[in-house]
């Protein structure tokens, strides 16, 4: 496996990585410029969660709804160029309301129309990330006036460069239900094959053990991280936590589903670099682009072994925030995550 260090550092001229691990590199800078520095057909998967088009301005920066789709399309156009022929672009977008009214904005639905009609993408599938731990919002319509329900689902668009992107659902099978487990233990005693009212004939193959169930496009993943190396490192060093982190299992699902070990995964709005962390844990090479150096510096904590002491952690953070490039490989270990 060729290290990302050798493959990309020389190509991204003038853009030295903020830090590197065994499998990846994190860069600080404008993603539009960094994307231009990558060669065509060089990245297998781009998975990211950009700042949403919310009415209230956030500290990490977000565009108004009126300009959002065109702004995001600038990045998507460059993503299309650097994707491999069978590559994918996975985009997590949250919904929003129109300013001052309880009417939903359509901006996140205009995104796939723009990308497919004008940029050459194909919509491979739409996913919905249900976060059961999400707080009630918007406050005005849900908590105060009580005229809308809690918005707890993000749309996750899976775009592809061609009609036939690389994908293998057998890599993301879920655990069988208790009912299915009973069926597999005693197929004849638990289920009698028959023709359903629709005319669909469910035969004996229905009871075959495939190692798990095919997942649906509704992904139930709580966003409740309360410990771990990232938050521990931020607390130790006084670093600012990124306010809009998604759980590692969200990008991990798509990384397992749409790539193979050794493929290259890129996040163009990396934030706390959850995507790079997930990619490293499943032996994919990765690149992370983020404009805020403080966020990039703090994201390095994700990759540190638990044995790394607070003094070393502080020293690494200080080196990065001071503008120096740091090799983390001697302090890191694979995340060793498992999708459950």
Cα distances from 98 to residues 62, 102, 105, in angstroms, run 15, 7, 5
* Closest of 161, 141, 159 to residue 149, by C-alpha: 141
Cα distances from 154 to residues 62, 122, 170, 267, in angstroms, run 17, 20, 24, 18
Give the active site residue among 49, 96, 160, 272.
Answer: 49
Give the active site residue among 17, 31, 50, 263.
Answer: 50
Distance (Å, whole) CA 337 – CA 252: 9
Residues 6+ apart with CB under 8 A from 123: 112, 115, 116, 157, 158, 159
Residue 138 falls in the annotated catalytic set: no
Buried b (16+ CB within 10 A) or exposed e, 232-254: ebbebbebeebebbbbbbbbbbb
Residue 215 falls in the annotated catalytic set: no
Distance (Å, whole) CA 71 – CA 326: 32
Kindly state the tokens that stand for 312. Answer: 């070393």
Note whether 291 and 51 are within 8 A (CB). Answer: no
Note whether 79 and 46 are within 8 A (CB). Answer: yes
Residue 50 falls in the annotated catalytic set: yes
Give the active site residue among 92, 151, 263, 267.
Answer: 92
As annotated, the active-site residues are: 49-50, 92
């Amino acid at each position: 496996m060729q290290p990302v260090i050798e493959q990309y550092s020389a190509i991204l001229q003038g853009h030295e990585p903020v830090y590197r691990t065994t499998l990846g590199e994190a860069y600080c800078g404008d993603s539009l410029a960094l994307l231009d520095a990558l060669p065509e057909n060089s990245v297998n998967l781009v998975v990211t969660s950009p700042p949403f088009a919310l009415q209230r301005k956030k500290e990490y920066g977000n565009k108004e709804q009126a300009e959002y789709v065109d702004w995001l399309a600038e990045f998507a156009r460059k993503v299309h160029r650097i994707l491999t022929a069978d590559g994918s672009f996975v985009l997590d977008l949250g919904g929003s309301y129109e300013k001052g009214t309880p009417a939903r904005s359509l901006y996140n639905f205009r995104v796939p129309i723009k990308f497919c009609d004008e940029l050459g993408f194909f919509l491979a599938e739409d996913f919905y990330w249900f976060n059961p731990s999400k707080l009630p919002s918007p406050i005005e319509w849900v908590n105060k006036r009580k005229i809308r329900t809690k918005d707890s689902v993000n749309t996750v668009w899976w775009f592809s460069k061609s009609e036939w992107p690389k994908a293998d659902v057998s890599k993301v099978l879920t655990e069988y239900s208790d009912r299915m487990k009973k069926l597999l233990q005693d197929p004849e005693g638990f289920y009698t094959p028959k023709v359903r009212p629709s005319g669909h004939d469910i035969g004996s193959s229905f009871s075959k053990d495939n190692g798990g169930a095919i997942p649906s496009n509704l992904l139930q993943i709580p966003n409740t991280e309360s410990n771990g190396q990232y938050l521990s490192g931020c607390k130790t060093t006084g670093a600012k936590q990124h306010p809009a982190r998604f759980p590692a299992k969200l990008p991990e699902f798509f990384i397992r589903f749409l790539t193979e070990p050794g493929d290259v995964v890129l996040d163009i709005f990396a934030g706390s670099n959850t995507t790079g962390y997930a990619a490293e844990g499943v032996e994919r090479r990765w690149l992370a682009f983020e404009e805020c150096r403080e966020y990039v510096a703090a994201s390095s904590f994700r990759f540190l072994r638990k044995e790394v002491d607070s003094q070393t952690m502080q020293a690494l953070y200080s080196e990065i925030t001071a503008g120096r490039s740091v090799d983390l490989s001697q302090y890191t270990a694979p995340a060793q995550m498992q999708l459950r």
